[in-house]
Amino acid sequence: MIEEFIKGNKSFIENDFEKDPARYDALASSQSPKALWIGCADSRIEPERITDADAGELFVHRNIANIVPVGDWNFAAVLEYAVAHLRVPGIVICGHSDCGGIKALDKEMDDAYIPLWIDNAREAKRRVDARMAAPTTPEEAKNRLTEMEKENIRLQIEHLRTYPIVKKAEADKKVEIYGVYYDLATGLLEEVQ
């Protein structure tokens, strides 16, 4: 398996890196990303690819179900670095269709860690279930899942705003927060309000 990655890296060097040495030389010494991108770890979603962003434009944090955990040191360190040191002007939370993490909210699981992690999105499920009837058809189930995925984006924005560094940066108009939803079937990225 690793041979494939090494071979792919050689292709990257030949077809991209060596064709723009000045750009990569600049990136070797600094970065000035446009946004902190908080997305799902799902292998089907590549933030740079779906936004046509170049290397250095996105500071990326990915995890199952694009969660912004409250009080998580790993996440807090990424957030602090992005806001205080990189001074990103934007923070984007990107959810997506067919999210396994959001689907897991409806399942009993024997896993040790996934249920604990997914619990950070449980309120999104509660909100959707409070406003939608239980699905009775596959289409209704799909619509409910989409609503839960989008509600999770809104919930994670709420979680993001509990961090003092974000509160201050937003109050000082130094950062804007966005929620976006990516549809795997169409490739469309849309803003979520």
pLDDT in tens, the chain (193 residues): 899 999 999 999 999 899 998 989 899 999 999 999 999 999 999 999 999 999 999 999 999 999 999 989 999 999 999 999 999 999 999 999 999 999 999 998 899 999 999 999 999 999 999 999 999 999 999 999 999 999 999 999 999 999 999 999 999 999 999 999 999 999 999 999 9
Half-sphere exposure (Cβ direction) of 75: Cα atoms closer than 13 Å: 20
Q: Are residues 114 and 165 in the same domain?
A: yes
Q: Are residues 89 and 175 in the same domain?
A: yes
Q: Are residues 26 and 80 in the same domain?
A: no
Q: Are residues 122 and 70 in the same domain?
A: yes
Q: What is the pLDDT of residue 42?
A: 97
Q: Are residues 130 and 50 in the same domain?
A: yes
Residue positions annotated with a catalytic role: 40, 42, 44, 96, 99
Domain that holds residue 14: 1-30
Rounded CA separation 69/71 (Å): 6
Rounded CA separation 46/186 (Å): 15
* Number of domains the chain is built from: 2
Q: What is the pLDDT of residue 167?
A: 97
What CATH number does residue 54 fall under?
3.40.1050.10
Q: Are residues 90 and 181 in the same domain?
A: yes
Name the binding residues.
Answer: 40, 96, 99
Rounded CA separation 88/93 (Å): 14
Residue 60 φ/ψ, nearest 5 degrees: -110, 135
Q: Are residues 117 and 184 in the same domain?
A: yes
Q: Are residues 160 and 183 in the same domain?
A: yes
Q: Are residues 17 and 85 in the same domain?
A: no
Q: Are residues 74 and 2 in the same domain?
A: no
Q: Are residues 24 and 54 in the same domain?
A: no
Q: Are residues 44 and 117 in the same domain?
A: yes
Rounded CA separation 107/109 (Å): 6
Q: How does DSSP assign 57-118, residue by residue?
A: SEEEEEEGGG---TT-HHHHHHHHIIIIIS--SEEEEEEETT-HHHHGGGS----SSHHHHH
Residue 189 φ/ψ, nearest 5 degrees: -110, 125
Residue 40 φ/ψ, nearest 5 degrees: -80, 150
Name the binding residues for Zn(2+).
Answer: 40, 96, 99
Helix axes 73-80, 164-171, angle to 10 degrees: 30
61 burial level (CB within 10 Å; 0-12, 13-18, 19+): buried
